[in-house]
A and B are shown apart, each in its own frame.
Chain A
Amino acid sequence: MCLDDQILNTYLDNELAEPWKSQVEEHLSYCSACKERFEQLKALKQTLQSAALTDEEIAPRQENVLRMISNTRFNTKRASFLRRQFKISIPAFATIAAAFVFVFVGAILHINNGSGNDFIPAAMDSAVDETNVSLVSDAGPAKTIYEYSPSLEEVLDYLDSLGYTVSVTKKGVEPFTFD
């Protein structure tokens, strides 16, 4: 008895188990009609596979998608840094800003005047201390900022890396721009 297309297709896909596989092979060795039909089915399969999307066509798409996913999913360091910023309570953040103004404005005045520390604004020790600088954390009670701190430089570097121009002003002093 000759072989039908379904058997031949299954054999072609290398999915035919023994003992049928050997029986098919034996039949194909002497039956030219079945052999011819098998070659046709094989040619069809090859024709189909020849139309497959190529690796060269895929490569740029693979890069595009990975770039997008990297940008939105893999930058966990930045994301956690940002999240931390949002947890700083508003009074604490205001205090950090104030401290920043003192430090940097003080430095500029010092350079411009060359006259010692006269123009540095009032000491910041009363503005920043562990009682009014705290972080709001979801892990238990608030901690002081000194236990884990993004330093002021880190905050500014971070904003700078994002392309922000940070500008802070203090009454009676020229605006200072950090960009």
Chain B
Amino acid sequence: MEMRSGDEAAFRQVYEQVFPVVMRVAFHVTYNMDVSEDICQDAFIRFFDKNMVFQTMDDAKFWLIRVTKNLAINHVKRKAREAASMEKLKQVTPTSSYKDGASELLFQETTENVRKAVSQLSEKYKTVIVLKEYAGLDYQQIGKVLNISESNVKVRVHRARKELEALLGMEN
């Protein structure tokens, strides 16, 4: 099913299916709802304005996930740089940036702990784990979005889980 991203009907169809996925990607990278909404809006506007041709719904979805992921990662990096340059914090702890973004939400203890742990992962591991657990992509799809090999994805998923297990105190 070939489609044009600037066609209103096709756009609406993609939007309906893909928005929740990209919103989860943006959120679990930034842990800030308003920032995530802005990022998704930015991604979908680019998607519409570029009026690109996609062969399948999945191709459109992967394009949107890639753009959203990049915008979200850039936001996190910029925030970290700003915090560092302002020197308001002696150390840029992921905990502080996490709390900043999560202020509007009330979490259960476990949810908060999990989100805090994910926010503490390095970019490399955070990205694969977010795409795996929150965007529901398989290894091959993650490889496509990140432009890395499937076996590389497999290794990163494994190492990310190992780190998360330690961060959450779930290791034995």
Contact = CB atoms under 8 A, between A and B. Distances in A.
| Chains A and B belong together in one complex | yes
A53 B110 contact: no
Nearest to B27: A53
Given A9-B158, A50-B110, A69-B41, A43 B170 contact: yes
Nearest to A43: B170
A62 B158 CA distance: 32
A102 B41 CA distance: 48
Contacts, number: 97
A33 to B, nearest CB: 11
B17 to A, nearest CB: 11
A173 interface: no
Given A13-B139, A52-B134, A69-B48, A74 B8 contact: yes
Given A6-B158, A44-B161, A62-B20, 6 more contacts: A15-B154, A45-B161, A48-B118, A50-B110, A58-B24, A73-B49
Interface of A: 5-6, 9-10, 13, 15, 40-41, 43-45, 47-53, 55, 57-58, 61-62, 64-66, 68-69, 72-74, 76
21 contacts: A6-B154, A10-B154, A13-B132, A13-B138, A13-B139, A15-B139, A48-B129, A48-B164, A51-B110, A52-B133, A52-B134, A53-B27, A58-B24, A61-B23, A61-B40, A62-B19, A65-B19, A65-B37, A69-B41, A73-B48, A74-B8
